[in-house]
Amino acid sequence: MTTKQMQNLPSVRGKYLFDEPMRRHTWLGVGGEAEVMFLPEDEADLQYFLRNKPQNLPVFILGGGSNLLVRDGGIKGITIKLQNKNFAQWRIENNLLICGAGMQNFALKNILPENNIGGLEFLCSIPGTIGGAFRSNAGCFGCELAQVLHHAKIMNGQGDILEITPEQFGFAYRHSDFPSDWIILEADLTTITKKSEEIIAQIKQNEDYRKEHQPQGIRTAGSTFKNPQEKAAWKLIKESGGAEMIIGGAKMSAQHCNFLEVSDNARATDVEKLCENIMKAVKTKFDVSLELEIKCVGQK
């Protein structure tokens, strides 16, 4: 960001954080700094910023940081995070659960049984925020966001607010055609009437499965690679020798080798290099191109 751009940042009601360590905002806890992080007060504050910011100022939208790797050189320009409670409100209308983009997915663990609405139990165990689930069409246990999304309210890079249908997102397996300047404001999610005890039991069953099959209590970003059609990613990693690779403070979990594990001294460079080495090993042995489920951003 140039000195002129810095001086011409619009006066907002929210907060600007300068040289903000991104390790505080991601589950991996590595990487450099956000040159400027903007925490808008509400939709109007966000809209005012977008319509008055310096031209050609790079903007990055940060969700919950659960599947994000920020490189050691950090993120230039403005990083926007919808952290204020005004972006985490919810309500029920016509069998739709309308959630603010800043709501943490785990908050659904209480909302669903207390209101006897089901169909969204899978979202409870996905790390991060409602808004963050859009870019990768997050899913688990045979369900994904695309199946329950009725429509969404977004703000584009010009500050215009639009209603978007699922078809306009171009959802596919762990993918969406999500324009980089779109900011999710609200998601309208389809629900079904369900008994509270059934909802609680389903959520617990999902949690128990994760505890049994996936690593707990470590710094990770969940599944590292998407599952290709040929074979499960973890099998390809294991059979190619990738499960035993260690780069600096980064390695794959002994419990589930499609889950990264980073130590306190790890750098983003370690993580990215490990991923690259595993992808090369799988390509060499099986002629299969693994694709990252983790998103890598920022300067090396």
- Copy the structure tokens of residue 215: 């690593």
Q: Do 145 and 171 meet the contact criterion of CB atoms below 8 Å apart?
A: yes
Residue 91 annotated as catalytic: no
Q: Do 248 and 266 meet the contact criterion of CB atoms below 8 Å apart?
A: yes
Residue in this structure with the two tokens 């972006």, named with its chain if needed: 87
223, 253, 261, 267: the catalytic one is 223
Among the listed residues 12, 2, 9, 6, the one whose alpha carbon sits nearest the alpha carbon of residue 42? 12
33, 43, 272, 293: the catalytic one is 293
Report the C-alpha gap between 33 and 283 in whole angstroms: 33
Among the listed residues 38, 10, 36, the one whose alpha carbon sits nearest the alpha carbon of residue 21? 36
DSSP 79-107: EEE--SGGGS-EEEETTEEEEETT-BGGG
CA 12 to chain centre: 26
Report the C-alpha gap between 105 and 163 in whole angstroms: 22
Residue 276 annotated as catalytic: no
CA angle 220, 221, 226 (to 5 degrees): 130
Beta strands 59-62 and 143-144, pairing class: unpaired
Residue 293 annotated as catalytic: yes
135, 174, 219, 267: the catalytic one is 174
Catalytic residue numbers read: 174, 223, 293
